[in-house]
Structure 1
Amino acid sequence: MDPLAEVERVTGAFAAELDGADPAAPLQAVRWTVQQVAAHLGAVHRWAALNARTGHRNPRVNVPELDVTPAEWYAEARSELLGTLHELDPDARCYTLSRTDKTVRFWHRRQLHESLIHLWDLRSRNPDAEPPGEVSEEVWIDTVDELFDVFLPRSSAADRLDLGGTLRIVATGCGREWVFARDWSPGEARAATATVAASPASLALFVWNRLDLDAVDTEGDPDVVARFRRAHIRP
């Protein structure tokens, strides 16, 4: 997988989806409108580019007010992001959100997953929308991995609610699973108190709190799954 090529594909799909979309249309997956999700993702693109280019952390407004159309704002932000990431050495050191990866390459991966989740958000204005088909199962699996290898370690003990049991999370059809004990340390599958299973795409959207329980298969203690969903491990 070439994450930067995937970023180009997914952000291109987001830009195309914006074309002709009603800026005031509400989204089903998040409490935003079309304009707000475009403003947010464009701001994140510019922030990521600035962090990569300057090497240090920069301030960011989560949902800026726009003085141009959402499509214009996003097109400019996308161009800035892609231009910056193509220009810079992927191994150059810079500020990132990871405890272990302090290179520009981090932003290739992060912007891919950020864009993919928000592409789903944008399409969710249509109640019949399906998970974006622009990427492979490998990308969806990595979207799950990133939540657990980047953002879970950044969360505080207060954010990581006691799960109340061992949770097993399974991506069906590809042999991948993640198991957490009640304190979020690695658990044993045979000791699972609850299990969540779904296709890689649906599972990724579920763990990022974009799909409800009816989109996945669950077994065992529902309170363990509910605690996982309430935990503040997502950015």
Structure 2
Amino acid sequence: MDAMRELAAASAAFERDLAHADPTAPLADVDWTVSDLAAHLGGVYRWAARCIIEGVRPPRRSVPELTSSPIDWYRESRSVLLDTLDTADPDRRCYTFSRSDRSERFWHRRQLHETVVHLWDLRSAGDPAAPAPAESSTEVSADGINEFFDVFVGSSSVQARPDLGGVLRLEATDANRSWVLGPDWVLLPAHPTPAATLTATTADLQLAHWNRRSAAPAGAVTASGDEGVIDRFRRAPLR
């Protein structure tokens, strides 16, 4: 997967959609407006660029003050990020919040998946049941799920990983792939009898990891088994 190329495409799609969106429209699964979303994602882009340029962690706010219209802010922020990534040495060390990857390459992958999830958020303002972005291929979505476990679970404290109370299997319907999560949030090679299963396309599973698609059509994301296991997975303060 060429994360830089995929990021350029997903961020361009966000820019195109944002240009025609109502800045005051609410999002489906996040308590923000479209304007808030543009401020947040543009701010994340600029923060990531500073992590690369300065090499250390700069201060960050979730929703920064907009210094221009949402589309202008986002367009400028996208240019800052892509220009920084284009000229950076992907092997050079810099600040990341991954325990296993301290290279600038980390930010290619992280900003790709940040953008894919927020592209769905943007489209949810017009349609709470919007499908997963077509811009995210099965390969990209599967890597997004892997990244969730690599980075957000792998770098989290024990307190942020409540015991699930059983084994959870995430089953992709469009790929010969599943993820089996033990009660302690450790990925297992397999488990014949999970306590609960979430079944969906890879793209919908990626969004489900971030508690999106709550208004998905019946059957898009299927939950079976112990509801408590699934609820604890969704409520874990990892996101």
Q: TM-score, normalised by structure 1?
A: 0.95
Q: How does 1:1-235 map to 2 (within 5 A)?
A: 1-127=1-127, 128-187=129-188, 188-212=190-214, 214=218, 215-234=220-239
For structure 1, the 5+ residue unaligned runs are none
State the one-letter code of the partner of 1:221: D
Q: TM-score, normalised by structure 2?
A: 0.94
Q: C-alpha offsets along residues 85-126 of structure 1, whole Å, 9 cap, x if unaligned?
A: 000111111111111111110000000000110010011012
* In structure 2, distance between residues paired with 1:20 and 1:201: 24
State the one-letter code of the partner of 1:138: E
State the one-letter code of the partner of 1:230: R
State whether residues 155 and 232 of structure 1, in contact with CA within 8 Å, keep that contact through their aligned partners in structure 2: no
Structure 1 stretch 12-21 or stretch 33-42: which is displaced more?
Answer: 12-21
Q: C-alpha offsets along residues 142-195 of structure 1, whole Å, 9 cap, x if unaligned?
A: 111111111002222221111111111111231221112212223442131111
Identity of aligned residues (%): 51
Structure 1 stretch 137-146 or stretch 205-214: which is displaced more?
Answer: 205-214
State whether residues 163 and 184 of structure 2, in contact with CA within 8 Å, keep that contact through their aligned partners in structure 1: yes
Structure 1 stretch 185-194 or stretch 143-152: which is displaced more?
Answer: 185-194
* In structure 2, distance between residues paired with 1:156 and 1:88: 31
Q: CA deviation at 1:129?
A: 2.0
Structure 1 segments of 4+ aligned residues over 3 angstroms from their partners: none
